[in-house]
């Protein structure tokens, strides 16, 4: 890490599913780089755009007025070509052609696989910044976009609770998370849900039904069951609960609404910290492939290679908390 600073130009791209807070992260990278007299090239449409040379300098004013905007001004894509060696090599060659000394990739673990492959073929330093609503990246307690997505889902659940109570109904609410139950778990705790289904935690619908029934016997007027999209078919869950309990049941799928909207303060600040930390790391001489994260409130640095080597586990204590409070 003691290498001299030869970084004069860095590239930045967003890749995979967008997440609220990606814009503040781009802004942080550009403004920190500007502060240190480094040029930033914005790469549009993720790796797709890199392979198509959709590359343009980003100035300080280009990132003005974006801190409060959801989505990503750089646009994003999931790129098939980057799964092939040919695409990975070509990406490195294009970065060299544009004299880009290092690349900042804002996205999830799929995006890091691409970054790692480019690094292995070209030697170009890579900095990963965790941006995904799923919060499923090892090496960081939080990813950019998670807090906003939870707040969006929570807002929906609060509204659903109003109508559920008025009609004395049960609602099954599906939230995002194909492989991860973080959004489901935190939304369930914050929304006072009666049950939560996550891909990481085995569940028994009969036990859940018995608990819901006990609650309504005690006088509960409504029940909400939060289902992470990867845990089970929410339609099937709603059908089974209705069959078992014979209660008026409805299903709401919140869907991509969770990916949009103005980032909450927590995500903006996380994004600001991650962006600056990424540029700082390069200035300190880092020339490998690393990921910035936050552990226990402090910025952490991990090998990008490790982010796919193990799984970001759900904290069993939080699962227990959700179960106890759902009574």
For ligand F6P, which is the closer residue by CB, 17 or 293?
17
Q: CA 291, CA 300: separation in Å to the nearest integer? A: 8
Contact flag: residue 176 with ligand F6P (CB under 6 A)? yes
For ligand F6P, which is the closer residue by CB, 179 or 244?
179
For ligand F6P, which is the closer residue by CB, 81 or 120?
81
134 noted as active-site residue: yes
Span near ligand F6P by CB under 6 A; candidates 30-38, 88-96, 171-179, 269-277? 171-179
Q: CA 154, CA 161: separation in Å to the nearest integer? A: 10
Closest CA to 231 of 153, 155, 174, 187: 174
CB of 103 to ligand F6P, least distance (A): 20
CB of 80 to ligand F6P, least distance (A): 13
The arrangement of strands across the sheet holding 55-58 comes to: 55-58, 39-43, 9-14, 102-107, 126-130, 289-295, 298-303
CB of 16 to ligand F6P, least distance (A): 6
Contact flag: residue 229 with ligand F6P (CB under 6 A)? yes
CB 24 within 8 A of CB 18: no
Q: CA 276, CA 280: separation in Å to the nearest integer? A: 6
CB of 259 to ligand F6P, least distance (A): 5
Interaction pattern, residues 246-265, with ligand F6P; x per rule: CB under 6 A:
-------------x------
CB of 229 to ligand F6P, least distance (A): 6
Residue nearest ligand F6P by beta-carbon distance: 17
From the number of C-beta atoms within 10 Å of its C-beta (0-12, 13-18, 19+), residue 78 rates as middle
Q: CA 14, CA 16: separation in Å to the nearest integer? A: 7
Residues 6+ apart with CB under 8 A from 47: 13, 15, 77, 79, 81, 82, 87, 91, 111, 114
| Residue tagged active-site, from 134, 136, 141, 267 | 134
For ligand F6P, which is the closer residue by CB, 8 or 178?
178
Q: Which residues are catalytic?
A: 134
Interaction site with ligand F6P (CB under 6 A): 17, 132-134, 176-178, 229, 259
């Amino acid at each position: 890490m003691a290498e001299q600073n030869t970084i004069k130009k860095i590239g930045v791209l967003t890749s995979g599913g967008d997440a609220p807070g990606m814009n503040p992260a781009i802004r942080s990278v550009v403004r920190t780089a500007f502060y240190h007299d480094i040029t930033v090239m914005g790469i549009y449409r993720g790796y797709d755009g890199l392979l198509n040379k959709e590359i343009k300098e980003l100035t300080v004013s280009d990132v003005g007025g974006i801190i409060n905007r959801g989505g990503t001004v750089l646009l994003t894509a999931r790129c098939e070509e980057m799964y092939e060696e040919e695409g990975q090599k070509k990406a490195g060659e294009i970065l060299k052609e544009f004299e880009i000394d290092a690349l900042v990739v804002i996205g999830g673990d799929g995006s890091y696989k691409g970054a790692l492959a480019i690094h292995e073929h070209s030697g170009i330093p890579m900095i990963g910044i965790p941006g995904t609503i799923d919060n499923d990246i090892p090496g960081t307690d939080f990813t950019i976009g998670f807090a906003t997505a939870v707040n969006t889902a929570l807002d929906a659940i609060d509204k659903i609770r109003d109508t559920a109570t008025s009609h004395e109904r049960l609602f099954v609410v599906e939230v995002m998370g194909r492989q991860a139950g973080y959004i489901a778990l935190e939304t369930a705790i914050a929304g006072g849900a009666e049950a939560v289904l996550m891909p990481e935690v085995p569940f028994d619908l009969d036990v859940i039904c018995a608990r819901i029934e006990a609650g309504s016997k005690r006088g509960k007027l409504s029940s909400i069951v939060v289902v992470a999209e990867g845990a089970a078919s929410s339609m099937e869950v709603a059908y089974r609960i209705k069959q078992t309990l014979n209660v008026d049941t409805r299903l709401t799928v919140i869907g991509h609404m969770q990916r949009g909207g103005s980032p909450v303060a927590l995500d903006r600040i996380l994004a600001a910290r991650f962006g600056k930390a990424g540029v700082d790391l390069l200035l300190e001489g880092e020339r490998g492939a690393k990921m910035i994260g936050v552990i226990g409130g402090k910025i952490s640095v991990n090998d990008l290679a490790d982010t796919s080597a193990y799984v970001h586990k759900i904290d069993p204590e939080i699962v227990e908390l959700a179960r106890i409070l759902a009574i």
